[in-house]
Structures are given as C-alpha cells and as structure tokens.
C-alpha cells in the first residue's frame, strides 16, 4: 500500500521537537516517509553543530538506521565532511575506517585521494577494499599506480582495484590487466575494464576469448571489443578480420538469439565489421523489430562494405520495407561504379 504524501505543514509538525538522533533515524528508515525533510532539517543546523552526534551514529553497532542516517548526512555535507572523515579513516575501529572510506568515495573529493591510497595497505582487508572502490569513484590519476600494486594480492582487493581501473579508463593499466584474463574469478571485471579503457592492445587477448569454443564470457567480450573499436576508429577493422575465426563467428551468431539488447547489438556490430554475410538473414529478421533498427543498419553497412556483391535473392526474399532500407544503404556506400537495381523493379520480379 502506497503511503499518502505528507503536506509541508504535517511534515513540519511531525519533525517539530525531534532530537538529532530521532531525525537521523527518520533519515535512515525511508519507509517512514520523512527522510528528505529530516535531512533538510539536520543539514540546516550546520555540520559543526551536528557532527558529534553524527560521529556517534557512525560508531553505533547496534542501530543500523541511526548509522545509515548519520552516513547519509555526512555525505550530504560533501566536501565539508572530508577533513573529519579523513580523521576517522585512521580510527582504531576497523568498521569506522571502512565506513569512512565508503563515504569519502561517495563524496568524491580529490582531497581524500592520498589518505585513501594509504588505506589500501590497511591491515583490515575490508577497509582496503572500500578504499579501492572509493578511489575508483573519485578517478584521480594519482591512484592508478597504487591500485596496480595491489593486483597481485587477495582476490577481495583485486576485484575493486580492477573495477576502479576501468572507471579511471587510463591506458597505463592495460599491460597489468591483460594477464588477469586467465583468472576465472576476475575474468568478467577485467573484460569490462578493458572495454572501458578502450586501448587496442587488448584486442588480441579479447579476440582469443571471443573465439573460444567454450563460449565463456563471449557476450561481455563482444561488448568490450565494440567499445574499443568505437574508441579507436575504423583502423581496427583489419585486425578484427584477421583475428576472428569460424568459432568466433559462430559464438557471435549465437548471441543474436539472446534477450539482451546490448549483447545482440554488439554481436551485430562485430559481424558487420568482419563482413560475415551468413548473419544477413538474422539481421533482416531483427530489423522487423523497430528497437533494433539503428544497430542493424550499422551492421548491414559494415557487411555490404566488406562484401558488396550481395545476391538479389536476399533482397527478393524480404519485405518491401527491408528492400527499400537495404538498397538505400547500398547506394550510400562506395561500390566502385556497381549499378544497383531499382527497388520497384525488384518487387515486380
């Protein structure tokens, strides 16, 4: 059952006389319906006035709503909270250090980068994990080398470091990430990170995965390869054509029958780039669905650019809508003087 909205007067009356702790509980439990108004009330008091209560809330192990409310308020204060959170990052209590790292990441202020880098070496691995995640959110280049330095440590720390490198999209990370493709536990995040970075040096390793007969992580790899191609431009096409094999084409064709639009789109784009005509019937079928039209167009352009001598039977076997679209695309390409049939002429045959 949806709770009715509270009028401003009702909300003000409901918050009147509430202590800071009570307001934090309202912020921490959004189901009560007062979170936003309680937040505004606490913030209006100023950080200096409420900080002692906020710190006690962060330290409270017995009341999750109070702790959550205190953390939300500290994040809401933004940069003003950073000096106090940096102090808490050195606290004797491991959970307090952990929550401090989380909040610093949510705030995203670069002034926290150096303390968070130091926290990567915290004796509590949960704190190190939170610090790595926070550094990824902030995205400062100064964190890259320290993050690369933890890639050979515990998996619990490697994972957020890899994700952080992907978020930072710094190509210097690529040589350190490629060897981790052999680690099954890190395979998916490493593939995603390499895609976000978009460096062509990752293509040989990614294409090897794409052509793996076991089809592991083919979908994620296809999306990563497309991301690299889009960033690097058309000069990667020859590299794709030389790297892909029949198994890779089979794997990509298999993605076309899936329900994930992003994966289908990536498969269509790559099949278009390598000029695989076997995919044309599937592409033309998908073209009947309006939500696929743009990505299918791109794939058809790639296919016809690579293999311009498309038989008229394929055009004749499809609807007039597809004939018009395909012929229009063909005419916009450079076919070295090839004369294309008129659509009305085709339809009469």
Q: What is the pLDDT of residue 300?
A: 61
C-alpha to C-alpha distance for 262 and 240, rounded to whole angstroms? 20
Q: What is the pLDDT of residue 311?
A: 40
Among 36-40, 83-87, 138-142, 254-258, where is mean pLDDT lowest? 254-258
Q: What is the pLDDT of residue 108?
A: 96
Provide mean pLDDT across the span 55-78. Answer: 96
The angle subtended at Cα 75 by Cα 74 and Cα 81, nearest 5°, is: 55
pLDDT at residue 321 is higher than 80: no
The full set of domain ranges for the chain reads 179-278
C-alpha to C-alpha distance for 79 and 112, rounded to whole angstroms? 10
Q: Which has more confidence, 318 or 171?
A: 171
Ramachandran angles phi, psi of 46, nearest 5°: 90, 145
Return the CA Rg of the chain: 28
Place of tokens 């085709």: 346
Provide mean pLDDT across the span 61-66. Answer: 93
pLDDT at residue 277 is higher than 60: no
pLDDT at residue 342 is higher than 60: no
The angle subtended at Cα 17 by Cα 14 and Cα 20, nearest 5°, is: 100
Q: Residue 203: is it exposed, middle or buried by C-beta count within 10 angstroms (0-12/13-18/19+)?
A: buried
Among 38-42, 268-272, 332-336, where is mean pLDDT lowest? 332-336
Q: What is the pLDDT of residue 103?
A: 98
CB count within 10 Å of CB 130 equals 25
Q: What is the pLDDT of residue 230?
A: 86
Place of tokens 């659509």: 343
Per DSSP, 213 falls in state: T
C-alpha to C-alpha distance for 310 and 330, rounded to whole angstroms? 10
Q: What is the pLDDT of residue 245?
A: 86
How much of the chain exceeds pLDDT 70, in percent?
74
- Residues 102-111: pLDDT tens digits? 999 999 999 9
pLDDT at residue 323 is higher than 60: yes
C-alpha to C-alpha distance for 218 and 275, rounded to whole angstroms? 19
Provide mean pLDDT across the span 104-130. Answer: 97
C-alpha to C-alpha distance for 24 and 3, rounded to whole angstroms? 20
Burial pattern 141-178, b for ≥16 Cβ within 10 A else e, equals: eebbebbbebbeeeeebbbbbbbbbbbbebeebbebbb
């Amino acid at each position: 059952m949806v709770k009715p909205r509270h009028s401003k007067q009702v909300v003000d009356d409901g918050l009147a006389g509430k202590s800071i702790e009570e307001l934090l509980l309202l912020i921490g439990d959004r189901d009560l319906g007062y979170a936003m108004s309680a937040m505004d009330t606490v913030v209006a008091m100023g950080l200096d006035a409420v900080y002692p209560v906020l710190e006690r809330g962060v330290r409270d192990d017995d009341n999750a709503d109070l702790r959550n409310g205190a953390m939300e308020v500290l994040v809401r204060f933004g940069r003003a909270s950073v000096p106090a959170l940096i102090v808490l990052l050195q606290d004797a209590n491991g959970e307090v250090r952990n929550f401090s790292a989380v909040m610093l990441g949510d705030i995203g202020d670069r002034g926290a980068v150096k303390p968070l880098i130091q926290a990567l070496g915290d004796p509590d691995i949960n704190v190190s994990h939170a610090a790595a995640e926070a550094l990824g959110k902030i995205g400062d280049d100064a964190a890259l080398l320290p993050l690369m330095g933890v890639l050979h440590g515990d998996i619990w720390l490697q994972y957020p470091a890899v994700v952080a490198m992907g978020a930072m999209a710094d190509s210097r990370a690529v040589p350190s990430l490629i060897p981790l493709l052999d680690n099954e536990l890190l395979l998916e995040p490493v593939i995603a990170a390499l895609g976000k970075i978009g460096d062509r040096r990752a293509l040989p390793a990614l294409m090897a995965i794409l052509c793996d007969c076991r089809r592991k992580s083919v979908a994620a790899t296809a999306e990563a390869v497309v991301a690299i191609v889009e960033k690097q431009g058309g000069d990667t096409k020859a590299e794709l054509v030389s790297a892909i094999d029949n198994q890779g084409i089979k794997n990509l064709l298999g993605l076309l029958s899936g329900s994930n639009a992003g994966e289908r789109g990536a498969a269509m784009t790559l099949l278009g780039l390598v000029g695989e005509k076997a995919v044309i019937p599937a592409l033309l079928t998908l073209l009947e669905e309006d939500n696929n039209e743009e990505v299918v167009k791109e794939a058809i352009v790639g296919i016809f650019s690579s293999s311009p001598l498309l038989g008229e039977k394929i055009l004749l076997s499809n609807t007039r809508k597809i004939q018009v679209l395909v012929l229009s695309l063909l005419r916009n390409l450079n076919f070295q003087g090839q004369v294309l049939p008129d659509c009305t002429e085709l339809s009469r045959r």
